[in-house]
Amino acid sequence: MKKKILILSGGISKERLISLETGLQVARELKKNGYKIKLSEPDNNLEKTIKKFKPNVIFNALHGQFGEDGYIQTILEQFKIPYTHSGVMASSIAMDKEISKKIFINHKIKTPKFFTYSYDIKNFHLIKKIKLQLNFPVVVKPLNEGSSVNVFICNEKNIINVLNSVKNYKKVMIEEFIAGREIQVAVMGNKKLGAIELKPKRKFYDYKAKYNKNAKTKHIIPVKLTKSKLNKVLNIALKAHKIIGCKGVTRSDFKFYNGKFYLLEINTQPGMTKLSLVPEIAAYRGISFIQLIEWILKDAKTKK
């Protein structure tokens, strides 16, 4: 008899719509293959829903804050029911760009130079500091958002306006801008699943480039790299997956410039929509969407 799967999607993050789409597509695929499915929001009725439905596995299709930052994982731990993707600590670390980048640096993984900017500290020498440490242009990004939400490439003229527009975050990252190619790598457990290159029509692979069908981002697979360079980026992604302590499937985002790979971040809950990259990489490797989902469900049972 096929198992009962509770899919958590939606939530309150800025990635709510993407999460709903992921949840719906996973639900349709599982239903087609005989699973008993219930879609649920991670709301105040979650405990009641879990006790009534009695799922065998909880598929976490949430994205962004409260969904992939250790918050919902902490809640799910109390139910003693296997849930998909990474656990509390790995989710929390991977979502925090400052902490994860410091870990990358400590493990000799190249990542763009950066510093954090706090709005409660008046920094009258910000422009000077950027010129000394990073150079313009720079990237301004929140510490705990995904899907390139509120990520901006800034020059000396617009950076103050950009910082003022995202001051509700209280603290943001100002990062060295690395030009070059966009390479994304998927890891599946302890397996290097593969890579894909993105060529966005927009300035960079931002939220619209990721999720707007009209953005016309070009997906290139196989990636045009030498065998040794491809192996190198796959190995870096697997290393990052392991040192953060990730489970299940992850996607690591790289820039490739002047023969070097720069790891931007690791995503512990990559999307599962029609435009998502991990299913596309898996398909290229001969793994169908249902096979990918079933592997993720099976992996959930082995979570420590």
Q: What pLDDT, in 10s, does the model give residues 178-221?
A: 999 999 999 999 999 999 999 987 555 444 544 455 557 899 99
Q: Read off the tokens for 46.
A: 């979650």
CA atoms of 108 and 220, how far apart (whole Å) = 28
- Determine whether 147 is an active site residue: yes
Q: What are phi and psi of 60, to 5 degrees?
A: -85, 100
Say which residues have a Cβ less than 8 Å from residue 111's Cβ, sequence separation at least 6: 101, 104, 105, 262, 263, 264
* pLDDT score of 206: 45
Is residue 186 domain-shared with residue 244, that is, in the same domain? yes
Task: Check if the beta carbon of residue 87 is closer than 8 Å to that of residue 73.
Answer: yes
Which of 265, 276, 280, 299 is flagged as catalytic?
265
Which of 87, 144, 251, 252 is flagged as catalytic?
251
Task: Check if the beta carbon of residue 114 is closer than 8 Å to that of residue 174.
Answer: yes
CA atoms of 148 and 251, how far apart (whole Å) = 14
Q: Is the pLDDT of residue 84 over 60?
A: yes
- Determine whether 265 is an active site residue: yes
Which of 182, 253, 280, 299 is flagged as catalytic?
253
Which of 211, 252, 276, 299 is flagged as catalytic?
211
Confidence of residue 167 (pLDDT cuts 50, 70, 90): confident
How many other β-carbons are positioned within 10 Å of the β-carbon of residue 43? 12
Domain count, the chain: 3
In a domain, 9, yes or no: yes
Q: Lowest mean pLDDT: which of 101-115, 145-159, 241-255?
A: 145-159
* pLDDT score of 164: 85
- Boundary of a domain, candidates 156, 176, 196: 176
* pLDDT score of 21: 92
Is residue 184 domain-shared with residue 291, that is, in the same domain? yes
> Residues 251-262: pLDDT tens digits?
999 999 999 999
Is residue 165 domain-shared with residue 190, that is, in the same domain? no
Which of 271, 276, 280, 299 is flagged as catalytic?
271
* pLDDT score of 57: 96
In a domain, 95, yes or no: no
* pLDDT score of 303: 55
CA atoms of 188 and 270, how far apart (whole Å) = 11
Amino acid letter for position 137: P
Domain that holds residue 44: 4-84
Which of 147, 150, 252, 276 is flagged as catalytic?
147
- Boundary of a domain, candidates 176, 191, 224: 176
The DSSP result for 59-104, as a single string, is EE---STTTSSSHHHHHHHTTT--BSS--HHHHHHHH-HHHHHHHH
Task: Check if the beta carbon of residue 184 is closer than 8 Å to that of residue 253.
Answer: yes
As a whole-number percent, the residues of the chain with pLDDT over 70 amount to: 91
* pLDDT score of 295: 96
- Determine whether 15 is an active site residue: yes
Q: Beta-strand (E) ranges in 66-190?
A: 114-118, 138-142, 152-154, 171-176, 181-188
Is residue 167 domain-shared with residue 192, that is, in the same domain? no
More confident residue, 119 or 87: 87
> Residues 32-75: pLDDT tens digits?
999 999 999 998 899 999 999 999 999 999 998 888 999 999 99
Say which residues have a Cβ less than 8 Å from residue 31's Cβ, sequence separation at least 6: 37
In a domain, 101, yes or no: no
Q: Read off the tokens for 62.
A: 């949430």
The CATH number that applies at residue 142 is 3.30.1490.20
- Determine whether 181 is an active site residue: no
Confidence of residue 166 (pLDDT cuts 50, 70, 90): confident
- Determine whether 41 is an active site residue: no
* pLDDT score of 125: 82
* pLDDT score of 182: 95
How many other β-carbons are positioned within 10 Å of the β-carbon of residue 4? 14
**Nearest 10 degrees: Cα torsion 186, 192, 193, 198:** 40
> Residues 241-299: pLDDT tens digits?
999 999 999 999 999 999 999 999 999 999 987 778 999 999 999 999 999 999 999 99
- Boundary of a domain, candidates 84, 106, 123: 84
Confidence of residue 222 (pLDDT cuts 50, 70, 90): very high
- Determine whether 202 is an active site residue: no
Is residue 125 domain-shared with residue 209, that is, in the same domain? no
* pLDDT score of 146: 60
* pLDDT score of 214: 53
Which of 60, 144, 252, 267 is flagged as catalytic?
267
